[in-house]
Amino acid sequence: MHEMSLAEGVLGLIEDAARREGFSRVLAVWVEVGRLAAVEPEALRFCFDAVTAGTLADGARLEIIDLPGQAWCWQCNESVAPMDDEGSCPRCGGYGLQVTGGDQMRVKELEVE
């Protein structure tokens, strides 16, 4: 389950920001997750709650912003929105897709005290 290491990475970013900005508590975290990033949102929520227990982000609300996937289909020469990174082109059914977006994850915003 790589969601645990992702949650640990988010906590690391929060702790770095707290040292830099001088806040002592995190109330909410907004994370953008692309549909093609191979991240299970509920597993990420569970892991986030586990790794933040006893930290400045203990009890913080994790808001996951779902970003659509984007790919270029070499068969129909179109930009398409595949449902997952293993799927076919939703227009032509071909498998010649090159991912162009929606495969990333990033912390977008923090609500702090």
Return the pLDDT at 58.
Answer: 98
Domains and CATH numbers, the chain: 3-112 (3.30.2320.80)
Return the pLDDT at 85.
Answer: 60
Which is it for strands 26-34 and 105-112: parallel, antiparallel or unpaired? antiparallel
Return the pLDDT at 105.
Answer: 96
Report the alpha-carbon distance of residue 20 to residue 44 in Å, rounded. 25
Return the pLDDT at 88.
Answer: 86
Return the pLDDT at 87.
Answer: 75
> Over the stretch 25-54, which tens digit does the pLDDT of each residue have?
999 999 999 999 999 999 999 999 999 999
pLDDT tier at 86 (50, 70, 90 boundaries)? Answer: low
Amino acid at residue number 23: F
